[in-house]
Amino acid sequence: MGACWAGCGACWAELAGPPPPKPSREKRWVWHGGLPMCSDDLAAGGLPSYVGMVKRDEVQLGSLTLQIETWPDYRIGSSVWPSGVLLAHALATGAAGLPAVCDLRVAELGAGPGLPGLVCGLLGALSVTLTDRTELVPLLDRNVELNGLSGACGAQALDWSWAHRSPLAAAGSSAVGPLDLLLAADVVYFEEQEPLLDAITALMAPGRTMLALAYRERTPMDRHYLNERILPRLDASRLDYEAPGHGSCEIYVGRLR
């Protein structure tokens, strides 16, 4: 059957049942992966009845094999994006400049399907907390289950603007202690800058927590923000990382000043 661009929905209805409900909340356009993407601005979520296509892929990273489910029709964050794959690959292969994660307390910001954090779980991290918006927590839970990591990994909703009040931040000031490693990949958006910086500073203990931030430039604006606002807060080194078939990205590794 050829592609139909009529937009009437008849072909879809015949093949896949009723089309998804029209969004009822405000949408916005953001640049991601070099493309304009439409993102629902959901303040509070939960899993809707429709997520679109469900994909499951076997991902080989060094000696590790992961099962990763994605929902490419659902949200920007429900797919795996290039810097996330590259950060996961770097962790899995023990790239120079990145810490060995065995026995570390790890969290991932804007985890989406959770690939870098799941790699840490398979590598023996003491605990891994995968965080994202509320509506993506079920996807994270699914990938934790698929990879048999329920004992090591867990998922939490995290609003970056309120990260300082989150259970993850509270744990850092309790007997549990601060995080050892904070992961972030494909999270530097022009639209999200101040909340991102809020979350980074809320979850990192100065001089203790290490940040591994994987970045690929989308616009001059996000590059400017990275250089002028985020990096000055860090004592960090830059790793230019590439892997066959996955391209390249910059990985910044460091601690808060």
Per-residue model confidence (pLDDT) at position 189: 78
What is the distance between the alpha carbons of residues 60 and 202, in angstroms, rounded to a whole number? 33
Per-residue model confidence (pLDDT) at position 192: 61
Q: Using one digit for the tens of pLDDT, what is the confidence trace for 156-210?
A: 999 999 999 999 999 988 888 999 999 999 999 776 678 999 999 999 999 899 9
Per-residue model confidence (pLDDT) at position 8: 44
- In a domain? residue 131: yes
Higher pLDDT, 208 or 14: 208
Show the 3-state SS of 206-247.
Answer: CCCCEEEEEECCCCHHHHHHHHHHHHHHEEEEEEEEEECCCE
pLDDT band at 49 (very low <50, low <70, confident <90, very high): low
Per-residue model confidence (pLDDT) at position 176: 85
For 97, 212, 224, 236, the CA distances from 231, given in Å and listed in that order, are 17, 12, 10, 7
> Average pLDDT in the 79-98 region?
97
- In a domain? residue 25: no
Structural domains counted in the chain: 1
For residue 202, what is the domain's CATH number?
3.40.50.150
> Average pLDDT in the 91-116 region?
98
- In a domain? residue 41: no
Give the max Cα distance, the chain: 60
- In a domain? residue 136: yes
Q: Using one digit for the tens of pLDDT, what is the confidence trace for 114-132?
A: 999 999 999 999 999 999 9
Identify the DSSP state of 162. Answer: G
- In a domain? residue 14: no
- In a domain? residue 87: yes
Its domain, for residue 250, covers 55-256
- In a domain? residue 90: yes
Cβ atoms of 115 and 96 closer than 8 Å: no
pLDDT band at 30 (very low <50, low <70, confident <90, very high): very low
Per-residue model confidence (pLDDT) at position 247: 95
> Average pLDDT in the 70-78 region?
91
- In a domain? residue 19: no
> Average pLDDT in the 63-88 region?
95
How are strands ordered across the β-sheet holding 210-215? 153-157, 127-132, 105-109, 181-185, 210-215, 247-256, 234-243
